[in-house]
Amino acid sequence: MLNKKSTYTIVCFLAFLLCGSFVFSQNNKQKQLETRRQELRREIQKINELRAENKSKEKSQISLIEDFNYKISVLSNLIKVTNQQANLITRKINSNQKKIGTLRDELKQLKQDYAAMIVKSYKSKNKQSRIMFLLSSNDFKQAYKRLQYIKQYSDHQKQQGETIKAKTLELQNINRSLQGQKEDKKRLIADNKVIQKTLETERKEHEALMKSIKKNLSLYASQIRRKQKEADRIDNEIDRIIKAAIAKSNRKAGKVTSSKSFVLTAEEKVLASKFIANKGKLPWPVERGVVRLGYGTQRHPIDKSLTIKSHGVRIATQKGAKVRAVFNGEVSEILKMKNVNPIVMIRHGDYLTIYKNLSSVNVKKGDKVLTKQVIGKVFTNPSNGETILSFTISKGTKTENPASWIYKM
């Protein structure tokens, strides 16, 4: 059976652990939010830089809408993350204010107890009274206990003084921390006001552009369908080439039956396992860029009745941008189609990375390439100044979301 003192000690210890865990969790969350906020700010900076670079060119209405949609999305996320940070700081401020109140009460009580102890000590401090206290003992054992009591009382006085000093220091530190948190919150709120204004401006421009587009929506819908038809033609040809490559590779390995995936050699299995191990950590296929179109089937930003089938991502980058292999592999195909810019396919075991819309190619079929090796340059459209790389990842014939593979995409 635990006595009351032991139970109280255990409860206090558990409360300390829980409090420490909560504080650590809050600090960790704050760091994550700040990291994410800085990432979004850098993303906006990249969008602005690319816009400024192409300012002199006359972009298509569809491209402008895509630009607006992407920037509005990033700005909205930035506001959301900043609000989360401000709310977390508010909770910290409230928690610290409660701590300050509790500490002040504790300090007040400690000082009262200490003052009473000093008065009591002063009244009995002359040596004669202490000697008399010891000499009036009935036996040696009682005298020894009384001596221990005097020592313990003296130690307790010192301990009480140290506790007051420590509590005072803790109170000062929390007050300083509180002041810093209030400044951080003030700064975040000011930042958010600026972002909100930018977002409002972007939305107004977006709305104005959409109004002008809706006057001739059928024309834009026709353009969208043509673009999707062309994208489907390219994707179907890539799919055919991949299937042919799988069939050829598998026949070579002695497997005649049709398959949607490669039969791997021991060396290829090692390469594939390394590629998988780097999921989420692969470098971007261009050094600087922003995702203009994400992966998957999605409603078109201009005509909601139309859908975009995106088997990869479209990355806007700067003029003359170099295209880089995202991992070690072998160039399995360099595809050249009528009215289509060159496409490079790199094999990584049973995975493929596909780089579309190149202006020049630095590699040839069968070449071994290394991570971040330059394989070509992105094509820049002379009419609108846009430099867009289309990038796809597939396992055999099945495409996967590049955002799951590329670092912080």
Which of 194-198, 250-254, 279-283, 293-297 comes out lowest in average pLDDT? 250-254
Mean pLDDT value of segment 385-404: 95
Question: Which of 93-102, 248-257, 322-331: highest mean pLDDT?
Answer: 322-331
Which of 46-55, 264-273, 348-357 comes out lowest in average pLDDT? 46-55
The residue among 375 and 147 whose pLDDT is bigger is: 375
Smallest Cα–Cα separation from 285: which of 332, 313, 333, 325? 325
Question: Which of 68-82, 173-187, 277-291: highest mean pLDDT?
Answer: 277-291
Mean pLDDT value of segment 296-301: 86
- The whole-number pLDDT of residue 286 equals 98
- The whole-number pLDDT of residue 5 equals 47
Asked if 375 and 344 count as a contact pair (C-beta separation under 8 A), the reply is yes
Percent of the residues in the chain that have a pLDDT greater than 90, as a whole number:
40
What are phi and psi for residue 296, nearest 5 degrees? 105, 175
Residue corresponding to tokens 């958010």: 192
Mean pLDDT value of segment 211-224: 80
Question: Which of 45-59, 175-189, 368-382: highest mean pLDDT?
Answer: 368-382
- What angle, 0 to 180 degrees and rounded to 10, lies between the N-to-C axes of helices 127-135 and 140-214? 120
Q: Is the pLDDT of residue 130 over 70?
A: no
Residue corresponding to tokens 């994208």: 231
The average confidence (pLDDT) of the chain is: 83
Q: Is the pLDDT of residue 114 over 80?
A: no
Q: Is the pLDDT of residue 118 over 70?
A: no
Q: How far is CA 307 from each of CA 217, 295, 375, rounded to the nearest angstrom?
A: 15, 12, 32
**So what's the architecture of 4-214 in CATH?**
Orthogonal Bundle (1.10)
Mean pLDDT value of segment 216-232: 83
CATH number for the domain whose boundaries are 264-404: 2.70.70.10
Type of residue at 280: G
Q: Is the pLDDT of residue 126 over 60?
A: no
Neighbouring residues of 319: CB distance < 8 A, sequence distance ≥ 6: 53, 380, 385, 387
CA dihedral of residues 377, 382, 384, 387 (deg, nearest 10): 0
- The whole-number pLDDT of residue 237 equals 94
Q: Is the pLDDT of residue 64 over 90?
A: no
Mean pLDDT value of segment 16-30: 64
Residues of the chain with CATH 1.10.287: 4-214
The residue among 405 and 338 whose pLDDT is bigger is: 405
Record the pTM.
0.68
Neighbouring residues of 327: CB distance < 8 A, sequence distance ≥ 6: 274, 275, 278, 282, 346, 348, 353, 371
Alpha-carbon distance of 302 to 346, in angstroms, equals 34
Q: Is the pLDDT of residue 119 over 50?
A: yes
Residues of the chain with CATH 2.70.70.10: 264-404
- The whole-number pLDDT of residue 254 equals 77
pLDDT tens sequence across 254-288: 776 667 788 898 999 999 999 999 999 999 999 99
180-196 burial string, b = 16+ CB within 10 Å, else e?
A: ebeebbeebeebbeebe
Q: How far is CA 171 from each of CA 66, 168, 180, rounded to the nearest angstrom?
A: 53, 5, 14
- The whole-number pLDDT of residue 306 equals 80
